[in-house]
Amino acid sequence: MKKVGFFRSIHLKFVLIYVLLILIAMQIIGVYFVRQLEETLLTNTIQSFKERVNLLAYDIEEEMVKERDKDDVTMEEAIRNILRDYDAVDITEIRVIDARTLKIIGTSEADNQGIVGQRTTELKVKRSIVLEEEESEILIDKQWGHRTWVLARPIESNREVIGSIYLVAKIEHIFGQMKTINNILASGTAIALAITAILGVLLAQTITRPIADMKKQALAMTKGNFSRKVKVYGYDEIGQLAITFNNLTKKLQEAQATTEGERRKLSSVLSYMTDGVIATDRKGRVILINEPAAKLLNVSRETVLSQSIVTLLGLEENYTFEDLLEEQDSVILDYSTKSKHYILRANFSVIQKETGFVNGLITVLHDITEQEKIDMERREFVANVSHELRTPLTTMRSYLEALAEGAWKDEEIAPKFLEVTQTETERMIRLVTDLLQLSKLDSRDYLLSKEWINFIPYFHRIIDRFELTKNQNVSFNRKLPEYPIFVDIDVDKMTQVLDNIISNALKYSPEGGQVTFSVEEEFNFIIVSIADEGVGIPSENIDNIFERFFRVDKARTRKLGGTGLGLAIAKEMVNAHGGGIWATSEEGKGTVISFSLPYERSEEDDWS
């Protein structure tokens, strides 16, 4: 067994989870605490500024509406004295603006008295006067990066705005305090994590030590050593698990001694068997399966042990285990899919004691896929041949009986009856000829008379022959290379392939349609394609058109004299040349039959 590294051990995982939980908890607490503290400090500071501004607004209002004597100080001097009283370390500047003229009538900044009497340019001041409400904002100094709080508060008298107070206050000290608090939290978190990690290591050892002992015991058991015991460190859940593990070890030792002898006997027998064998206990659970059976069922021997034999064979719907015990005949297991046939035969034998007590069931599996496939093909072939022969024979018998009954005396009807009889006779001859040819191809007792020919002029000659003899209004479109392409083929066999394909294309081409012929080079093959503009082939039938006796439109094929063997013969001959044949089609637009032939490009071809 592969040794588990420290970085993949449960010890490290336990410590990491423990530390991460503490870290996440402290981070959540820290973020919540810092955010709440920052909001509280900022809110309290701003509220303090607002309270002072409210008192200042009251004093300024008194001075702005006060009627003055000649001996009294001017309003500007009075406001300057008031602002001097409200000046503080945390306030940068306070300005008082007249609402009617928007001129600054006072400032707390001693070095900035020159702005008194000038019109204010602060947008917040104008907005506070027009909207009659406070305007505030936190700004950041672009040069030093310090945060300041700006407030524009209207001064009202008798519900009329007579001025505005513009305050610029320092709040950077709040964020400095928060930075200090964050540093303290980070340091505390680091210290807490370090202590947590140490405690986690000690705690993890108390849990992982018994587990490590059980792992060593399990490894020893896999090697056949059942004498070792797991040390019990306590009577908690881990301790109970250790005690249970020791009891399991003892029972396994006893069971191994009982079954080892039987296992060796069965092992020696099954190792030399070629058939698939499955053994079950008296409840139908698999206790033994040999390698051939596992391969036949495509399962792993380890995963199917203790599984129900009924479930393993997929017989739940039709059989129970008791039914299999009474089954005398073979059971056919059909695992076929749409793309592949796969059939097994299962024979069952009951294992019984002398008293009649059932100990289990022995199942023997045989692969009969090929046998069933051959039987099915033979049955289909006989049925198809019988059907194909019965139709013309029935027609001939009917017409011959009519002639025998006196129709031969009718000069108008008799020639037609004889013509039909001759047509059906020729159809049977073609069918028998095709069957003999297929039989010869299946027996592989023929030899191809190959020769090197230039395929392009050869293809042209075949197309010319059909173009001269066709009776339909169908045009031919040739897309053939002008340079030579030499292939090694049996000319007679390949001519028959092309005749079958072109004949089908003409049969299914509509009046005024077009048949297209093309040849392309692709790697070490040439691709020959013949396309028509007929009704096309349904997608569910496209893979079956090369099967024997298969017809998409049976009525039309028989009417045109087809036997349903042309494409099957073409497939066998193309395969004999080392190529392949296939079809593509779209309903209502036509069909393309293509086949490939081996092609070796010569140096002359490369230069040309």
Q: What is the pLDDT of residues 381-434, one digit of tens each?
A: 666 666 566 666 777 777 677 777 777 777 777 777 777 777 667 666 666 666
CB atoms within 10 A of CB 374: 11
| Residue extent(s) of CATH 1.10.287.130 domains in the chain | 373-442
What number is the average pLDDT over the span 484-513? 86
Residue 271 — very low, low, confident or very high, per pLDDT cuts 50/70/90? low
Tell me, what's the pLDDT at 385? 62
Tell me, what's the pLDDT at 550? 64
Alpha carbon distance 115, 104 (integer Å):
7
Structure-token pair, residue 8: 């993949």
Tell me, what's the pLDDT at 560? 47
- Between 478 and 607, whose confidence is greater? 478
| Residue extent(s) of CATH 3.30.450.20 domains in the chain | 12-177, 273-367
Q: Which of 413, 598, 417 is nearest to 522 (CA)?
A: 598
pTM across the whole model? 0.39
Displacement of CA 388 from its chain's centroid (Å): 48
What number is the average pLDDT over the span 442-467? 81
pLDDT digits (tens, 9 = 90+) for 172-199: 888 888 888 888 888 888 888 888 778 7
Predicted confidence (pLDDT) at residue 121 exceeds the cutoff of 60: yes
Tell me which CATH homologous superfamily contains domain 448-607. Histidine kinase-like ATPase, C-terminal domain (3.30.565.10)
pLDDT digits (tens, 9 = 90+) for 591-603: 899 999 998 775 4
Beta-ladder partners of 531: 516, 592
What number is the average pLDDT over the span 498-505? 86
Alpha carbon distance 573, 534 (integer Å):
25
Residue 604 — very low, low, confident or very high, per pLDDT cuts 50/70/90? very low
Cα torsion 223, 225, 228, 234: sign: positive
The answer for residues whose C-beta is within 8 angstroms of residue 422's C-beta and 6 or more apart is none
| Residue extent(s) of CATH 3.30.565.10 domains in the chain | 448-607
Alpha carbon distance 608, 599 (integer Å):
16
pLDDT digits (tens, 9 = 90+) for 307-330: 888 888 888 888 888 888 888 788
N-to-C CA span, the chain: 65
- Of the given ranges (90-99, 136-145, 502-511), which has the lowest mean pLDDT? 136-145
Alpha carbon distance 346, 319 (integer Å):
13
For the domain spanning 12-177, the CATH number is 3.30.450.20
Q: Which contacts qualify for 121-127: CB closer than 8 Å, 24 or more apart? A: 122/152, 122/166, 124/150, 124/152, 124/166, 125/97, 125/152, 125/164, 125/166, 126/102, 127/152
Tell me which CATH homologous superfamily contains domain 273-367. PAS domain (3.30.450.20)
Predicted confidence (pLDDT) at residue 255 exceeds the cutoff of 70: yes
Reduced to 3 states (helix: H, G, I; strand: E, B; else coil), residue 482 is: coil
Residue 240 — very low, low, confident or very high, per pLDDT cuts 50/70/90? confident
Say if domain 373-442 classifies as CATH 1.10.3720.10.
no
